[in-house]
Amino acid sequence: MAEELGRIVIEEIRPSTPRRHPAKAAVGEAVRISADIYKDGHDVLAARVLWSGPDGE
C-alpha cells in the first residue's frame, strides 16, 4: 500500500542568483547546497541533491 506524503514544501534553495535562478560553479569547485524542507505534521524529512552537468547527465 502506498503511503500518502501530503504536501511537501521546498523553498529557499541555496545557492541561487538574485533572480532566484540556480547558481553555477566551475568543474571541481566545492559548493554547499541547502534548502528549507517541511510539511504538516511531525514527520522527519530528508532530501537528496540530484546533480547534473551542463549536458544534462
- 40: its cell numbers: 504538516
6, 40 contact by CB (below 8 A): yes
Average pLDDT, the chain: 80
Does the pLDDT value for residue 50 go beyond 80? yes
Select from 24, 6, 27, 28 the least CA-distant residue to 15: 24
* pTM across the whole model: 0.61
pLDDT at residue number 3:
56
Does the pLDDT value for residue 1 go beyond 80? no
List, as one string, the DSSP characters of 27-46.
TT-----EEEEEESSS----
- 1: its cell numbers: 500500500
Mean of pLDDT values over 5-25: 80
